[in-house]
Amino acid sequence: MNAEQTSPAATPGAPAPETPAPETPEGTSGPAKPTDSLVTTLHSLSLPEGPLDYTATAGTVVIREEPEGEEYDRASAVAELFSVSYVAGGRDAARPVVFAFNGGPGASTVWLHLGLLGPRRVDSGDAGAPAAPPHRLLDNHETILRHADLVVVDAMTTGYSRPAPGQKPDRHHGLAADRDLMASFVVDWLTRNQRWTSPIHLAGESYGTTRAAAVAARLMDRYYVAVAGLALISPVLDFGTIRFDAGNDRPYVHYLPTYAAIAHAHGRHEDRLLQDVVDEAEAFAEQEYPALLAAGLRLSPEQRAEAAARIGALIGVDPGWVERADLRVEHQAFLAELLREEGMLAGRIDGRFTAPAGNGNAPRMETDPSIDQLAPSYTATINQYLRTELEFSSDVVYEIMSGRVHPWSYGDFENRSVEVASDLSRLLRKSPHTRVLVSHGYHDAATPFHASEHVLAQLAIPREDYAERLRIEYYEAGHMMYCHEPSRLALSQHLAEFVAGAEADAPAQD
């Protein structure tokens, strides 16, 4: 591997140079104008079919916006967004470009970057065997860079992304503002890199799927940029399906199949296949469970006890506990209850993970074992990787997960559910060539697969588009299914086929 610091124009595939901003003259007030800070390095990845040579451009770019009002003025800097761009083979306009981001809100894109998509990947370990220090990176022979150029970008106040000097970060902490900022970044990158005719794909995970759907619609609505594809990994497109708010029974229904899958992972369904358990749980959730919840106090004591016994058997907990919960099992309560007799908690991001419970009587999980056991390897390796292999450093902390983005604004959704399913529907109606890949983890208790299935089935698009343009896949792992090696390999293959435009092997389910 060769690495050298260059100007942005010195290496094929790097962003075109900008005119340096003038420094503030001595004796005048005001800060110097922000400028891009980019480092381009040269790399080669050894693959079975031969070397893959590529450039990596890491750093912050200044995003500007034109002011609104009656009098026009020059665009002013509003943000400095951090990204890493991987380009193989120079500016090949026929080569797809994948823009990737995680979610949270508050998560940097380190997870997709080093967990799945990039040319280097973290050795994180898996449930029951998380990686111990010293943490290390491995070559990623399944990187999406084999098939497309890759841009991983961090949202505001995550990673190294920050507001421009004099700007407030909270103006970007919300669905609409974040959407617009990310769309501006995509347009800016296409312009700098002369890639306007390349097939464009967006890949998001978790809230990143909310972002991806919103950004894709914004690109079409505002700029007439039609994305070729959306890869939605562990999606949430309608928050009403996962938020346990008073009077909202939808999450109880949609989480139940995930509870059953997690119970299976912990031996509560001996001698049964996972798929059989999931199928039974989904059938109950779709056919019987909604009617039981709707009946409420109209259920007789015998009917209520029978329902609790059925639910308890499916999700591996005591029926009396289910009955005391009014047949409504909240997810953090379930993760604390499932392994209570063993003195353990189950993970939310991935229910296969466990950790000792600090309080054996806690009504809800105290912490998430899956995040606790996976995050240290990502934290260590991204900080080492950026500074050594990519030769970029900053005087601020690389925010792996930041609570500073909260409160996150959903101002456009007052008195209604936060959702981007309508954005996705509108995009698919407007852009007939856009395709969607949806990836679910069976053991994901953050964004349950049944909720996503339900939302996708209700999209306001023609039935034939649902059948032909959506591909839905499942993996025997959790939210970050790529920590499970068989799932990582399968998902990488599915993404490769999707970006290459191959015919879907698994079309959307009825």
Does some domain include residue 13?
no
Distance CA 175, CA 386 (A): 28
Does some domain include residue 299?
yes
pLDDT tens, position by position, 322-338? 999 999 999 999 999 99
Identify the domain boundary among 304, 333, 368: 368
Strand-pair partners of 448: none
Identify the domain boundary among 318, 353, 368: 368
Considering the domain architecture, whether residues 222 and 123 belong to the same structural domain is answered as yes
From 94, 67, 31, 26, select the one nearest 500 (Cα to Cα). 94
> Exposed/middle/buried for 368, CB within 10 Å: 0-12, 13-18, 19+?
buried
Distance CA 216, CA 205 (A): 14
Q: Give the H or E element holding residue 285.
A: helix 274-287
Helix/strand/coil for 503:
coil
Does some domain include residue 1?
no
Considering the domain architecture, whether residues 407 and 385 belong to the same structural domain is answered as yes
Considering the domain architecture, whether residues 118 and 150 belong to the same structural domain is answered as yes
Distance CA 495, CA 267 (A): 31
Which residue's structure tokens are 């400028």? 35
Considering the domain architecture, whether residues 430 and 327 belong to the same structural domain is answered as no
Considering the domain architecture, whether residues 198 and 143 belong to the same structural domain is answered as yes
Considering the domain architecture, whether residues 302 and 381 belong to the same structural domain is answered as no
Domain containing residue 89: CATH number: 3.40.50.1820
Considering the domain architecture, whether residues 389 and 419 belong to the same structural domain is answered as yes
Considering the domain architecture, whether residues 88 and 135 belong to the same structural domain is answered as yes
Does some domain include residue 12?
no
Considering the domain architecture, whether residues 76 and 200 belong to the same structural domain is answered as yes
| HEC assignment per residue over 265-284 | HCCCCCCCCHHHHHHHHHHH
pLDDT at 286: 96
Identify the domain boundary among 334, 368, 402: 368
Provide the sign of the torsion angle of the four alpha carbons 438, 441, 444, 450, taken in this order.
positive
Find the domain containing 296 and state its range.
245-368
Helix/strand/coil for 483:
helix
Does some domain include residue 89?
yes
Considering the domain architecture, whether residues 406 and 284 belong to the same structural domain is answered as no
Number of folded domains that form the chain: 2
The interaxial angle of helices 421-430 and 207-223, nearest 10 deg, is: 40
| Cis previous bond, 407, omega within 30 | yes
- DSSP state for residue 396 in the 8-state scheme: S
Does some domain include residue 382?
yes
Considering the domain architecture, whether residues 200 and 284 belong to the same structural domain is answered as no
Sequence-separated contacts (24+) of 168-172 with Cβ below 8 Å:
169/404, 169/405, 171/78, 172/78, 172/79
Question: Are residues 117 and 101 in contact, defined by beta-carbon separation less than 8 angstroms?
Answer: no
Cα–Cα distances (Å) from 459 to 224, 346, 422, in that order, read 22, 33, 7
Distance CA 203, CA 466 (A): 19
Helix/strand/coil for 137:
strand
Each of the 510 residues of the chain gets a pLDDT tens digit; together they read 444 333 333 333 334 434 344 444 444 455 668 899 999 999 999 999 999 999 999 999 999 988 776 667 678 889 999 999 999 977 788 899 999 999 999 999 999 999 999 999 999 999 999 999 999 999 999 999 999 999 999 999 999 999 999 888 889 999 999 999 999 999 999 999 999 999 999 999 999 999 999 999 999 999 999 999 999 999 999 999 999 999 999 999 999 999 999 999 999 999 999 999 999 999 999 999 999 999 999 999 999 999 999 999 999 999 999 999 999 999 999 999 999 999 999 999 999 999 999 999 999 999 999 999 999 999 999 999 999 999 999 999 999 999 999 999 999 898 899 999 999 999 999 999 999 999 999 999 999 999 999 999 999 999 999 999 999 999 999 999 999 999 999 999 999 999 998 543 444 554
Considering the domain architecture, whether residues 416 and 397 belong to the same structural domain is answered as yes
Does some domain include residue 249?
yes
Distance CA 211, CA 405 (A): 15
Question: Are residues 98 and 144 in contact, defined by beta-carbon separation less than 8 angstroms?
Answer: yes
Does some domain include residue 19?
no
pTM of the model: 0.91
